[in-house]
Amino acid sequence: MSGHFEYWIGNRYVRSRSNNSFVSLISAISMLGIAIAVAVLIVVMSVVNGFERELQDRLLTMTAHASIEATDGRLEDAEALTLIAINNARVSAVAPYVDGQALLVFEMNVSGAELRGIDPVLENEVSGISGVMQIGSLEVLEPGAFKIVLGVELADVMEVEVGDKVTVTLAEGRVTPAGIMPRTKRFTVGGIYRVGMYEFDHRLAFINIADAQKLYWMGNSISGVRLAVNDIYEAPEIVREVALENGKRVLVSDWTRRHVNFFRSIQITKSILFVILLMVIGVAAFNIVSTLVMVVKDKQTDIAILRTIGTRPLSILKIFVTQGSIIGITGTLAGVFFGVLLALNLESIIGFFESTFGIKFLAADVYFISDLPSEVRYGDVVVVAVIALVLALISTIYPAWVAARTVPAEALRYD
């Protein structure tokens, strides 16, 4: 018997019609199970990949690749450190900053915030804040203008718009004959940004670095400098190199250290989800075992006839391996197709349901990211497809082996 003969019979069993429609039905159910399991795993992995990508992009938008700051919060000789950093071949940009805490007041609304004094021109070189501005721009932060840029969530809480004046109140007071009075300064809202992460949109506000130095009585001192490097994955090494060359005691940090827990949790979640959903594929593959066992039982007479006319047990085994393989391959390919198609259009689909039904899948005040991102990594797709195919092929072995061991006399005894 040739391989074509075995393939022809196995393929015919998959597409059985008329009085053998039961075989065709359970074959279709097995294909559907494999397809759904593969598609779900691809979509879930793509969503986790999307979260990882968006988290990294948005964090790097608001935080520099690395930073160097004084141990006491006041960096006196910033020019020398800046010169050392700029002369480093692996550093692409340097920007000074001043950090501080404040209380923002507008009419009856009060909210705490972190104020960051920046140089708008230099800041654009180390971060992507300009790219997330919804209203206005960073250029309004001119020295002495006392303007402030707020996150969209903070602006909503304060109920302010561009042009409104908010009162900035500091915890450090000044001594007067009437006692200690809090220091306050009125700032005009000059812009509103949205990065899509509640942590930043609700907490962080920007002012000009010169205004921040006056507000916090820092003179010519700054809190530190932020670095942009050529290779973000070498940021820990580069920032230490710059700090050591400076020769003074400073605090160094980088994006991997500052947000390491976020990325670790994503990797752990991805691994756990992969294992759990792999079990779903395993269950779907087990359906192939059930399907072939029922097919073998249903085809006992056919097997006996084939054996009687001289078909070898190996050919019988190949027939049912072929049938199971067709089910597994078809289901896997269908799952890959629909999984990739759904993952590529997931953001549009979610957006449609949110706008149609007025719901929000990810609440901004609960999750770090308020959008549901998706990124298809074809390496993951290949791994999922290969594992599904291997499990499907393994699932065919036992039923096919049982069919090959069928004794014609026993199978035809009651026919």
Please write the tens of the pLDDT for every residue from 169-204.
Answer: 887 766 555 555 678 889 999 999 988 778 788 889
Residue 209 in this model has a pLDDT that exceeds 90: yes
The β-bridge partners of 52 are: none
Most confident of 2-6, 153-157, 169-173, 229-233: 153-157
Q: Is the pLDDT of residue 29 over 80?
A: yes
Both 121 and 229 in a single domain?
Answer: yes
pLDDT tens string 89-148: 899 999 999 998 899 999 888 998 999 999 998 888 888 888 889 998 888 999 988 999
Confidence of residue 373 (pLDDT cuts 50, 70, 90): confident
Cα 239 to its chain centre, rounded Å, is: 27
pLDDT, one tens digit per residue, over 210-243 is 999 998 888 888 999 999 998 888 888 999 999 8
Whether 164 and 84 map to the same domain: the answer is yes
**For the segment 328-341, what is each residue's pLDDT rounded down to a tens digit?**
888 999 999 999 99
Q: Above 90 in pLDDT, residue 291? A: no
- Are 77 and 172 in a shared domain? yes
Residue 52 confidence (pLDDT): 81
Q: 303 and 397: one domain?
A: yes
Confidence of residue 164 (pLDDT cuts 50, 70, 90): very high
Rounded to the nearest 10 degrees, how much is the dihedral formed by the CA atoms of 78, 79, 82, 86? 180
pLDDT(207) > 90: yes
Q: Give the pLDDT of residue 171.
A: 73
Same domain, 161 and 253: yes
Residue 67 or residue 180, greater confidence: 67
Spell out a b/e string for 388-409, using b for 16 or more CB atoms within 10 Å of the CB, else e.
bbebbbebbeebbebbbebebe
Clarify whether residues 199 and 75 are in a common domain. yes
Both tokens of 34, joined, read: 């494999």
Question: Which of 258, 288, 322 is a domain's end point?
Answer: 258
Contact assessment for residue 88 and residue 238, using Cβ atoms and an 8 Å cutoff: yes
In which band, very low, low, confident or very high, does the pLDDT at 297 lie, cut at 50, 70 and 90?
confident
Q: What is the pLDDT of residue 332?
A: 92
Who's near 100: CB < 8 A, 6+ residues apart? 114, 115, 117, 170, 212, 215, 216, 223
> Which position has the token pair 């007479």?
301
With a CB cutoff of 8 Å and minimum separation 6, the contacts of 385 are: 38, 332, 333, 336
Query: Where a domain ends, among 233, 258, 283?
Result: 258
70 plus 50 within the same structural domain:
no
Reading the block at residue 356, the tokens are 């149609």
- Alpha-carbon dihedral of residues 347, 349, 355, 360, nearest 10 degrees? -60
Separation of first and last alpha carbons in the chain: 26
Length of the chain: 415
Position 1 scores a pLDDT of 44
248 and 271 fall within a common domain: no
Same domain? For 53 and 91 the reply is no
Share of the chain above pLDDT 90, in %: 21
When pLDDT is averaged across residues 359-379 and rounded to a whole number, the result is 72
Same domain for 122 and 227?
Answer: yes
Given a contact cutoff of 8 angstroms between Cβ atoms, the answer to whether 336 and 403 are in contact is no
Contacts 24+ apart (CB under 8 A), 352-355: none
**318 and 404 assigned to the same domain:** yes
* pLDDT value, residue 408: 63
Residue 177: domain span: 65-258
Where does a domain end: 220, 237, 258?
Answer: 258
Q: Tell me the average pLDDT of the chain.
A: 82
Number of domains in the chain: 2
For Cα atoms 269, 49, 240, give the angle at the middle one, nearest 5 degrees: 85
For strands 224-229 and 179-193, give the pairing.
unpaired
**Exposure string for 263-278, b = 16+ CB within 10 A, e = fewer:** eeebeeebeeebeebb
> Which of the 8 DSSP states describes residue 233?
G
Q: In whole angstroms, what is the distance from residue 221 CA to residue 297 CA?
A: 85
Q: Band of the pLDDT at 12, cuts 50, 70, 90?
A: low
- Average pLDDT, integer, range 353-358: 77
- The predicted pLDDT at position 9 comes to 66
Residues 194 and 247 occupy one common structural domain = yes
Rg (Cα) of the chain, in Å, rounded?
33
pLDDT in tens, 235-280: 889 999 998 888 888 888 888 777 777 777 778 888 888 888 888 8
Q: Locate all alpha helices (DSSP H) within 312-413, ordered by sequence.
A: 313-344, 346-357, 378-395, 397-404, 408-411
pLDDT at 18 over 60: no
